[in-house]
Amino acid sequence: MLATPGARAFTAGNLLARLPMGMFSVSAVIMIAGAHGSYALAGAVTATGLAATAVVAPWTARLVDRYGQARIAVPATAVAALGSLALVLCVYYDAPVWTLFASYAATATTPNTGGMSRARWAHLHQGDPATLHTANSFEQAVDELCFMLGPVLAASLCGALFPEAGTLTGAFLLMTGVLVFAAQRATEPPVAPRDTRAGSPLRARGMPALLTVFLATGAVFGAMEVVSIAHAGGAILALQAGGSCVAGLLYGSLRPAASVERRLVLCLVGMTALMSLPLVATSTTGSLPVLAGCLLLAGAATAPTMVTGMTLVQRLTPQAQLNEGMTLAVTALLGGIAAGSATGGWLVEHAGTVTGYAAPLCAAALALVIAAVPFAARRRPAPGEKDGV
């Protein structure tokens, strides 16, 4: 797949740009909690930034679809990098608390680099579902690799150097990666003719329910992240991402089943079951090695779930709105992460770690119910019919 002309170059740039995605929230939590002594405040600030991204990102993606990746991604990234720098200055100079929220919200213009990369694969492998499945799995593995390395790098920089080092490094990598990615014009999808009568991808049949699944799944990730950082530090999150990265690569090597909806339900069943493991570990043994192993296993359902969900998004979204459709999915995911971060931060501070780990389990179960109900309704025979008729 990487032998496709130009693929290695845009993948390298995109990897640099995506690595900070696993760094920013961890760096912000460590930096803010260290300066103000409150994980609840740190979780609220990161939740605000993610909520702002949920509002701004679809508009950024719509501009990308309309004017092209390079023309929009570079200035949007520059604004986001300035927001990160503003956050560092506000923390360092002990500015009023409201400035932390405003600065982190300014990072909402960060373009969906993963979505732009997936759009390039969709352009390069049009009409080849098997190869596109492999490409989507590869992209999800890259996401997990970034979330595996990002927290470790962020925690190491903040601990070994100074609390603001993680955010500063993330801003530099983001800007550099987007510049390298945008420079690869040969693989950039051409701007597709836009039907002025076409509405938002939100109106596509099945999209609202699917985005709600992404919202609940995001809550799983947000709650797990904050609770794990508060209990054991940011580096332990790398284990969950590592399990997901391996699962994504294995999933991409398999021949996908015909029914994407059925695959999504099965993936969510696995996620719900595996998300119970950290709760069991903390409520029974309290051992960090046991918790680490449970987080590794819990991550195994993440990549297959996300790959399958993104495949559904690509099928439901018109080609001229592909970036917007995938960004809506990421936006729903970030909205869920925001809610999960705020909830997890509050629970771990006021009710303890065990109760905190109940939040991602409940969110996974909610995602399963949301996905399973319409799937079961479509499979249910109409009155007077028999199954299979």
Q: Determine the Cα–Cα distance for residues 321 and 63; give it in Å rounded to an integer.
A: 10
Residue 37 forms part of a structural domain? yes
Residue 384 forms part of a structural domain? no
Q: Determine the Cα–Cα distance for residues 301 and 264; give it in Å rounded to an integer.
A: 11
CA Rg value for the chain:
20
pLDDT at 389 over 60: no
Please report the pLDDT score of residue 381 as a whole number. Answer: 52
pLDDT at 166 over 70: yes
First to last CA, the chain: 41
DSSP 351: T
Please report the pLDDT score of residue 382 as a whole number. Answer: 46
pLDDT at 29 over 80: yes
Q: Determine the Cα–Cα distance for residues 178 and 138; give it in Å rounded to an integer.
A: 19
Residue 388 forms part of a structural domain? no
> Could you write out the DSSP letters of every residue in 42-73?
HHHHHHHHHHHHHHHHHHHHHHHHHH-HHHHH
Q: Determine the Cα–Cα distance for residues 41 and 253; give it in Å rounded to an integer.
A: 42
Please report the pLDDT score of residue 132 as a whole number. Answer: 78
Please report the pLDDT score of residue 258 as a whole number. Answer: 66
Q: Determine the Cα–Cα distance for residues 208 and 20; give it in Å rounded to an integer.
A: 29
SS3 215: helix
Please report the pLDDT score of residue 137 as a whole number. Answer: 82
Number of domains in the chain: 1
Sign of CA dihedral 134, 219, 166, 286: negative
What integer is the mean pLDDT of 364-378?
84
Sign of CA dihedral 275, 281, 286, 290: negative
pLDDT at 385 over 50: no
Q: Quick one: what percent of the chain has pLDDT higher than 70?
A: 92
Q: Determine the Cα–Cα distance for residues 242 and 202; give it in Å rounded to an integer.
A: 32
Residue 223 forms part of a structural domain? yes
Answer yes or no: are the C-beta atoms of 154 and 234 closer than 8 Å.
yes
Q: What is the CATH number of the domain that holds 145?
A: 1.20.1250.20
Q: Determine the Cα–Cα distance for residues 298 and 243; give it in Å rounded to an integer.
A: 7
Mean of the per-residue pLDDT values for the chain? 84
- How buried is 358 (Cβ within 10 angstroms: 0-12 exposed, 13-18 middle, 19+ buried)? buried
Please report the pLDDT score of residue 173 as a whole number. Answer: 93
Residue 250 forms part of a structural domain? yes
Q: What is the model's pTM? A: 0.74
Q: Determine the Cα–Cα distance for residues 43 and 340; give it in Å rounded to an integer.
A: 9
Residue 169 forms part of a structural domain? yes
Q: Determine the Cα–Cα distance for residues 11 and 120; give it in Å rounded to an integer.
A: 10
Answer yes or no: are the C-beta atoms of 115 and 270 closer than 8 Å.
no
What integer is the mean pLDDT of 82-95?
89
pLDDT at 301 over 60: yes
Q: How confident is the model at residue 269 (pLDDT cuts 50, 70, 90)?
A: very high
CA-closest candidate to residue 29, choices 112, 83, 94, 104:
104
Range of the domain at 319: 7-187+202-379
Residue 387 forms part of a structural domain? no
SS3 286: coil
Residue 386 forms part of a structural domain? no
Q: Within the chain, where are the H helices?
A: 7-18, 24-36, 39-67, 69-92, 97-105, 113-124, 129-160, 165-182, 207-232, 237-253, 260-274, 276-284, 288-298, 302-316, 322-350, 353-379
> Could you write out the DSSP letters of every residue in 119-143?
HHHHHHTTT-HHHHHHHHHHHHHHH
pLDDT at 230 over 70: yes
